[in-house]
Amino acid sequence: MEEVVHARGHEHVSAQHASTFEVTSDDWLTPAGDCILAVDADRTPADFDDAFVDACRDKEATVTATFEVDGLTETVVGRGHPELSFENARSMVGRTSDHTDDRTFMIRADAAAEGFDRELVAALADGAELTLTVSVE
């Protein structure tokens, strides 16, 4: 089962955050948003199919986020959790910790923003288009 989100990079993408990564539907980004990889997302967790959300709420679920930018691919693997709400209509956050809130779509991620390939980050900082595919098993 998967959900696909399209977004774009922004000049302030720095991908320096040590414990999270984020994609937002906001069309702007300040330099302080060091976890944000892309803006202007066409979908958010609130848009995801109920069956997909239910599958992600299984504590044994494996959630995979695949980022495709200008022929480059980055994959982050994390876990689901019963407390994932998928209610946020603005942004989605992957976390290396066990913390959950209405923006969280993945916990215990094997990478945060600072771990992303720097060539991919540079493409996003140049405004490249992003296709984010989130799958759950």
* DSSP assignment of 74-136: EEEEEE--TT-----SSEEEEESSS---TTEEEBS-S--GGGS-HHHHHHHHTT-EEEEEEEE
Quickly name the fold that domain 2-136 has: Jelly Rolls (2.60.120)
Q: What predicted TM-score, i.e. pTM, was given to this entire model?
A: 0.96
pLDDT in tens, the chain (137 residues): 999 999 999 999 999 999 999 999 999 999 999 999 999 999 999 999 999 999 999 999 999 999 999 999 999 999 999 999 999 999 999 999 999 999 999 999 999 999 999 999 999 999 999 999 999 99
Of 78, 80, 73, the residue nearest 116 (C-alpha): 73
How do the domains of the chain map onto residue ranges?
2-136
